[in-house]
Structure 1
Amino acid sequence: MVPLKRRKVVSSGAGSAGSDDVTSPTRFPQVVLFLLERKMGASRRAFLSQLGGKNGFQVEELCSERVTHVICENNSGEEVRRWLESQVGSPAHLLDVSWFTESMRAGRPVEILDRHKLQEQQINEVEVEAFSTPSYACQRRTTLDNHNAVLTDALSLLAENAELSDEDGRGVAFRRAAAVLKSLPEPVTGLTQLRGLPCLGGHSLRVIKDVLENGASSEVEATKQSERFNALKVLTGIFGVGVKTAERWIRERIVGLQQLQDSEQTLNRAQQAGLRHYEDLNQPVTRAEADAVAAVVEEAVASVLPGARVTLIGGFRRGKLTGHDVDFLITHPEEGREAGLMPKVVSWLDSQGFLLYQKTSRNSYLEAEDGPGRPSSNMDRFERCFSVFKLPEEARRGAEEARRGAEETEPCSSSPAAVSQVKGEGLKPWRAVRVDLVVSPISQFAFALLGWTGSKLFERELRRWAGHEKAMSLSSHALYDNRQSRYLRASSEEEIFAHLGLEFIPPSERNA
């Protein structure tokens, strides 16, 4: 719960708001009002305070023990009461702004009815056990067994909408709230169970309350119907297209793929590939398809550098059965042997007809320059290749059959993209798959493995824990102790967790 901040004093007068020339004598000494600015806004609060003063009400600028009625707008009762109890104790009444406006119209304090009171969950706390969980996602074990998918899906959609609107702060807030719910051992049935849990702000709680009471969130449903949101989803779904480019196209009235194809927009190589293979790249990649790609990558690496190791990372390492791409981390047990490996691997893959698109970047990480002094970033500096693979249907099917034979699972249906029709070509015997290749020196391998395993929020929380709680700087390259002014070396993920003072959490429980 992010605490509500006490409003700063903006008036030199102690006590009621408004100046003497607009404030009538107090007519109701037993009623002392405080208008909460949060979500009401400063200008509206000032206007309502002045209105109250004109009608003979005492309106306090700051909340104190004298206050008898707290007036709020768009706040939940639980979050306001929790804040007030931490500040001045619990006042007599927490009221919606509707009580205030009705009192202004009546010229006196009207009777307080149930509809005027801020809504607080009325569940018997003996019957419903409250949950508890640590503040940081990197302290929590989060499996793929999500008991609150309806709630987390709603919050995740709002997070996505915030991120597409360049409001990363709101996006992270929703992601953290969803992560808390994902970690809970049982389904949430009422808001009382969430009392005291971290990262659940007022906005998230209102969404949760809406879903629990009505089966869906009106805000989420409105977002799903938003033309802008849907246009941004479609356009940023093109490989190589970011939010800023998509927004520029929308301003030019390009909101769909056909309009983009018909326009005279100049697309770079990545965007051309993304548009050409849009259907494939927006279909989930199955674990069988990831295994098929892995077999190809392992053959390529073994052909150009015997002894090198290839590790499947990302969501598939965490146990996910589908993903939007396939990521591999490559290293060699001998430091330095990995240098120059990527161009050779890419050349082999290209010669075998596996690459529809590729862009390779060199390793630009220098420990002395880019370590502790470098601003925290989600991006690392490894040698890497962003590519679009041409995965033959035969290879995908073979890997799927092998996987079924190795373990009893539900049959994976053929990916729609793998058998999609191409105009004039009938059934396509391959599908396009996003594949990222990353090469790491063995000395940085443990950090790269941790950083590239995810989830994204889990990694963000690890870095936040390192900085805020341990005065350390963590990246996918290294861990630096700012107090001791030295690097902390590690040859395994377990050692990194130990350096950070955290209990080791295996990949399968990092699905925050």
Structure 2
Amino acid sequence: MMSQFPVKKKKKQRLRLPSPPAPLAHPVRFPKVVLCLVEKRMGATRKAFLTTLARQRGFLVEDANSDRVTHVVSEGNSGDEVVEWLLKKGSRGIDVLGGCPVLLNTSWFTESMSAGRPAEIEPRHRLQVAAHAETLEARCQVPVYACQRRTLLAHRNQTLTEVLEDGASAEVERVKHSERYQAMKVFTKIFGVGVKTASRWYQEGLRTLADLQAHRAKLSKEQEVGLLHYDDLNTPVERSDAEAISQVVRDAVRQCLPGASVTLAGGFRRGKQTGHDVDLLLTHPTEGQEVGLLKKVISWLDKQGFLLYHSSRRNTFQALEDPELGSNSSASTMDHFERCLSIFCLHFPGGVQIGAGAQKPGGAVTGSGVSSFWKAVRVDLVVTPFSQFPFALLGWTGSKNFERDLRRYSKHEKKMALSNHALYHLEQKTFLTAASEEEISQHLDLEYVPPEERNS
């Protein structure tokens, strides 16, 4: 059966030739001269104006990272500053001694624009470079990872880490003064209270610590103690407090296991004078002797009246022979050591009021009849096998940023997994032993950074 619809003829497609390239707005008259204008101190607006002027005169103008740049024009900078600026912008074809590219001040540019052609380069046009390019390049190389940088507590950029314009952000200030923020801030400062619990209390209409007490909110034992000692636990811990607590724990350890050691970690090991808690690592040079030590130490401290609260966690670490441990690429900063989270009762004998917790109501009286003043302090006791101690010490010293980048560096640059327990080579499928933090750095081909320079 023939179709009742007429057959449409296909149209012939015309062959389209590629269109010629669009002509340049301004013809290039001097192809062997390629300019780069240094924006530093010149400013973006003036640079844009001079770029347009140069192109109108027939000059080529390109960015700093172009390998074709022959003439670099700067305004108000020294030769060293120009080289450093070029290196930061990605330029690597710099040969200062060979004069490539030639570094010039704006007087050469002005004369060239007036003449309508490249002016002869005279000594008065040139910028002098005092340092070698290699030295300047090394100065510009900032290590990617925090574990490769030395960061002191006092540094030169402290004034730059403030808000430069107004000193504050209007949006941030609005949030900080909101009712929800103020309530959440108060609640999350309670020992044992996280964001989820604080948010629930806010939804229930609670706003202050008095609201919690008046409505008899259901609290865990941990939270009850946190609320009771709220002021103390939100007062900075002084270095003298940390050292006093360390000595008390050393006395307890000496009674329970002679030869065992107690090491102060955290920010205090990095040289900080204040902190929010005290981290102490316990170990014994004979592997296995540390087993059962924490329970004995807690019992001794409790009998002596040093513990207001404590909660222990057993060791959940797998054996080093387990290949699943090392192959786990998502190794977190958390560890599996036996640990006691406690609130310590730090006494100040002699009747001198010290700290926020001084002269508490119902303060105890010593056998000599002298009043005892005290404060509550958060203390973490962590027990580590001796073979894992260097890794635990490294991890518990911090800072968080230093440790995070150290683990990133280990994984991405060295194909190793670093945790608070061990260092595992992901390709060789082996654990690397270390007797010190220095040896861990050697395994990673890193320069050893002392604790006081890990404050990134």
Scaled by the length of structure 2, the TM-score of the pair is 0.65
SS state at 1:212 partner: coil
- 2:390 aligned partner: 446
- 1:385 aligned partner: 340
CA distance 1:494–1:396, change in 2 (3 Å) = farther
SS state at 1:146 partner: coil
CA distance 1:385–1:450, change in 2 (3 Å) = same
SS state at 2:165 partner: helix
SS state at 2:315 partner: coil
- The partner residue of 2:357 within 402, 407, 418 is 418
Aligned residue type for 1:134 = P
Aligned residue type for 2:455 = N
Residue correspondence of structure 1 range 205-354 to structure 2 within 5 A? 211-354=163-306
Aligned residue type for 2:444 = L
CA distance 1:138–1:284, change in 2 (3 Å) = same
CA distance 1:488–1:219, change in 2 (3 Å) = farther
Report if the CA contact (8 A) 1:451-1:475 is conserved: yes
SS state at 2:187 partner: helix
Q: Deviations along 1:177-197, whole A, 9 cap, x unmatched?
A: xxxxxxxxxxxxxxxxxxxxx
Q: Deviations along 1:131-190, whole A, 9 cap, x unmatched?
A: 8422211111111103444554x6xxxxxxxxxxxxxxxxxxxxxxxxxxxxxxxxxxxx
Count of residues in Structure 1 that have an aligned counterpart in Structure 2:
324
CA distance, structure 2, for counterparts of residue 304 and residue 243 of structure 1: 39
CA distance 1:148–1:222, change in 2 (3 Å) = farther
Q: Deviations along 1:331-359, whole A, 9 cap, x unmatched?
A: 00000000111000000000101000000
SS state at 1:245 partner: helix
Report if the CA contact (8 A) 2:351-2:372 is conserved: no
CA distance, structure 1, for counterparts of residue 351 and residue 336 of structure 2: 32
Q: Deviations along 1:248-296, whole A, 9 cap, x unmatched?
A: 2222222321112222422111111111101000001111111110110
- 1:372 aligned partner: 326
Shift of residue 394, structure 1, vs aligned partner: 2.1
Scaled by the length of structure 1, the TM-score of the pair is 0.58
Shift of residue 369, structure 1, vs aligned partner: 6.3
Q: Deviations along 1:192-234, whole A, 9 cap, x unmatched?
A: xxxxxxxxxxxxxxxxxxx222333334433432433332222
CA distance, structure 2, for counterparts of residue 264 and residue 237 of structure 1: 18
CA distance, structure 2, for counterparts of residue 125 and residue 370 of structure 1: 57
- 2:349 aligned partner: 394
- The partner residue of 1:506 within 437, 450, 456 is 450
Residue correspondence of structure 1 range 9-408 to structure 2 within 5 A? 132=140, 133-149=142-158, 152=161, 211-366=163-318, 367=320, 368=322, 371-374=325-328, 375-394=330-349
Report if the CA contact (8 A) 2:145-2:409 is conserved: yes
Q: Deviations along 1:21-73, whole A, 9 cap, x unmatched?
A: xxxxxxxxx9xxxxxxxxxxxxxxxxxxxxxxxxxxxxxxxxxxxxxxxxxxx
Q: Deviations along 1:431-464, whole A, 9 cap, x unmatched?
A: 0000000000000000000000011111111111
CA distance, structure 2, for counterparts of residue 148 and residue 228 of structure 1: 34
CA distance, structure 2, for counterparts of residue 226 and residue 422 of structure 1: 34
Aligned residue type for 1:360 = S
Identity of aligned residues (%): 54
Report if the CA contact (8 A) 1:451-1:476 is conserved: yes
CA distance, structure 2, for counterparts of residue 246 and residue 263 of structure 1: 15
CA distance, structure 1, for counterparts of residue 238 and residue 232 of structure 2: 12
CA distance 1:345–1:326, change in 2 (3 Å) = same
Aligned residue type for 2:152 = T
- 2:126 aligned partner: none
Report if the CA contact (8 A) 1:289-1:396 is conserved: no
- 1:470 aligned partner: 414
CA distance, structure 1, for counterparts of residue 155 and residue 228 of structure 2: 35
Aligned residue type for 2:326 = P
CA distance, structure 2, for counterparts of residue 506 and residue 250 of structure 1: 44
- 2:98 aligned partner: none
CA distance, structure 2, for counterparts of residue 420 and residue 455 of structure 1: 34
Gaps of 5+ in 1: 1-29, 31-76, 82-88, 91-122, 155-210, 398-412
Aligned residue type for 1:419 = A
Q: Deviations along 1:465-511, whole A, 9 cap, x unmatched?
A: 11122111110000111011111111100111111121110000001
CA distance, structure 2, for counterparts of residue 125 and residue 146 of structure 1: 26
Residue correspondence of structure 1 range 455-466 to structure 2 within 5 A? 455-466=399-410
CA distance, structure 2, for counterparts of residue 396 and residue 471 of structure 1: 57
- The partner residue of 2:381 within 437, 444, 455 is 437
Report if the CA contact (8 A) 2:188-2:194 is conserved: yes
Shift of residue 421, structure 1, vs aligned partner: 5.3
SS state at 2:262 partner: strand
Gaps of 5+ in 2: 1-23, 25-43, 49-61, 64-74, 86-138, 365-370
CA distance, structure 1, for counterparts of residue 148 and residue 407 of structure 2: 12
Report if the CA contact (8 A) 1:284-1:323 is conserved: yes
Report if the CA contact (8 A) 2:348-2:374 is conserved: yes
CA distance 1:510–1:213, change in 2 (3 Å) = same
CA distance 1:428–1:247, change in 2 (3 Å) = farther
CA distance, structure 2, for counterparts of residue 222 and residue 273 of structure 1: 32
SS state at 2:346 partner: strand
SS state at 1:371 partner: helix
CA distance 1:396–1:345, change in 2 (3 Å) = farther
CA distance 1:455–1:396, change in 2 (3 Å) = farther
- 2:6 aligned partner: none
Aligned residue type for 2:401 = L
CA distance, structure 1, for counterparts of residue 437 and residue 360 of structure 2: 44
CA distance, structure 2, for counterparts of residue 285 and residue 483 of structure 1: 44
Which one has the largest radius of gyration? 2
CA distance 1:431–1:134, change in 2 (3 Å) = same
- 1:489 aligned partner: 433
Q: Deviations along 1:365-417, whole A, 9 cap, x unmatched?
A: 013166224432221000010000011022997xxxxxxxxxxxxxxx942x1
